[in-house]
Structure 1
Amino acid sequence: MAPPPVPRRIAISVALGTLLNPLNSSMIAVGLVALQGDFHVSLAQAAWLVSSFYLAASVAQPLMGRLADRFGPRRVYATGLCVVGATGVLVLLAPSYGWVVAARVLQAIGTSTAYPSGLALIRRLAGGRPPAGTLGLISAANTGSAAFGPVLGGLLVSVAGWRGIFAVNIPMAAAALVLALRWLPADPPAERRLTARELVRDLDLPAVGLFAVTMLVLLDFVLSLGGSPLWVLLVVLPLTIGQLIWHERNEPSPFLDVRALAGNRRLLGVLGQQTAVQAMFYLVFFGLPLWLQRVREFNPATAGLLMLPVSALAVVLTPVAATVIRRVGAGMSVLVGSLGLAIGAALLFTVGDDTGVLAILAVGAVIGLPVAFNNIGLQAGLYAATPTEQAGLAAGLFQTGRYVGAIVSTALLAALFDQGEYSTAGLHQIGLVILLVAAVLAAVAPLTPAPAGRHRPVPATGEPVTPARPDPVESPAGSDRAPA
Structure 2
Amino acid sequence: MVLGSVLNPVNSSMLAVALIPIGRAFDASPAQTAWLVTGLYLATAIGQPVIGRLVDAFGARPLYLAGTALVGVAGVVGALAPGLGVLVLSRVLLGFGTSAAFPASMALLRAESDRTGLTSPAGVLAALSASAQVISVVGPTLGGLLIGLGGWQLIFTINVPLSVACLVLGMLWLPRPPRTAGGVGPALRKIDLPGIALFAVTLTAFMFFLMRPRVGSWYLLAVAAVVGTVFAVRELRSGDPFIDLRVLRGNGPLLATYLRQFLAFTTSYAFLYGYTQWLEEGRGLSSTSAGLLLLPLSLAAIGVTALTGRNPEVHRKLLVGSVVQVAGVSALLFVHVSSPVWVLIAIGAVIGVPQGLTGLANQNALYAQADPERMGSSAGLLRTFMYLGALAASAANAAVFPHGATTTGLHRMAWLLVATAVLFLVTTLADRSLPHIGRAEGNASPANKASAGKTSGGRASEEDPPGGGDVTAGEPTRH
Could you tell me how far 1:100 is from its partner in structure 2? 3.7
In 2, Cα distance between the equivalents of 1:210 and 1:276? Answer: 25
TM-score by length of structure 2 reads 0.83
Is it true that 1:426 corresponds to 2:412 in the alignment? Answer: yes
Pairs within 5 Å for 1:53-132: 53-91=40-78, 97-127=84-114, 129-132=119-122
Q: What is the aligned partner in structure 2 of residue 140 from structure 1? A: 130
Could you tell me how far 1:52 is from its partner in structure 2? 1.1
In 1, Cα distance between the equivalents of 2:285 and 2:86? Answer: 34
Q: Which segment is superposed worse, 352-361 or 227-236?
A: 227-236
Q: What is the aligned partner in structure 2 of residue 193 from structure 1? A: 183
In 2, Cα distance between the equivalents of 1:169 and 1:64? Answer: 20
Q: Which segment is superposed worse, 314-323 or 53-62?
A: 314-323
Paired residues, what number?
A: 448
The change in CA–CA distance for 1:459 and 1:194 in structure 2 (over 3 A counts) is farther
Over the aligned positions, Cα root-mean-square deviation in angstroms equals 3.0
Q: What is the aligned partner in structure 1 of residue 162 from structure 2? A: 172
The change in CA–CA distance for 1:31 and 1:339 in structure 2 (over 3 A counts) is closer
CA contact (8 A) 2:57 2:187 kept: no
Q: What is the aligned partner in structure 1 of residue 235 from structure 2? A: 248
Pairs within 5 Å for 1:314-393: 314-325=301-312, 329-352=313-336, 354-393=338-377
In 2, Cα distance between the equivalents of 1:50 and 1:435? Answer: 22
Could you tell me how far 1:40 is from its partner in structure 2? 5.8
Q: What is the aligned partner in structure 1 of residue 391 from structure 2? A: 407
Q: What is the aligned partner in structure 1 of residue 470 from structure 2? A: none
- Deviation per residue, 1:40-97 (Å, 9 max, x gap): 6555444322211110110000011111111011221122122222333444565665
- Deviation per residue, 1:109-148 (Å, 9 max, x gap): 1111000000110111234844221111112211222223
- Of the candidates 236, 239, 250, which is equivalent to residue 223 of structure 2? 236
- Of the candidates 183, 197, 211, which is equivalent to residue 173 of structure 2? 183
The change in CA–CA distance for 1:441 and 1:129 in structure 2 (over 3 A counts) is farther
Is it true that 1:153 corresponds to 2:140 in the alignment? Answer: no
Could you tell me how far 1:269 is from its partner in structure 2? 1.6
Q: Which segment is superposed worse, 181-190 or 29-38?
A: 29-38
CA contact (8 A) 1:291 1:427 kept: no
Is it true that 1:220 corresponds to 2:217 in the alignment? Answer: no
Please state whether the residue corresponding to 1:142 is helix, strand or coil: helix
The change in CA–CA distance for 1:418 and 1:80 in structure 2 (over 3 A counts) is closer
Could you tell me how far 1:440 is from its partner in structure 2? 0.8
The change in CA–CA distance for 1:251 and 1:341 in structure 2 (over 3 A counts) is same
Instruction: State, as a whole percentage, how many aligned pairs show the same letter.
Output: 35
Please tell me the residue identity of whatever aligns with 1:164. Answer: L
- Deviation per residue, 1:175-223 (Å, 9 max, x gap): 122222222233222222132xx45543322222222222222222222
TM-score by length of structure 1 reads 0.83
Could you tell me how far 1:34 is from its partner in structure 2? 5.3
Q: What is the aligned partner in structure 2 of residue 470 from structure 1? A: none
In 2, Cα distance between the equivalents of 1:426 and 1:93? Answer: 37
The change in CA–CA distance for 1:379 and 1:228 in structure 2 (over 3 A counts) is same
The change in CA–CA distance for 1:97 and 1:305 in structure 2 (over 3 A counts) is closer
In 2, Cα distance between the equivalents of 1:393 and 1:131? Answer: 19
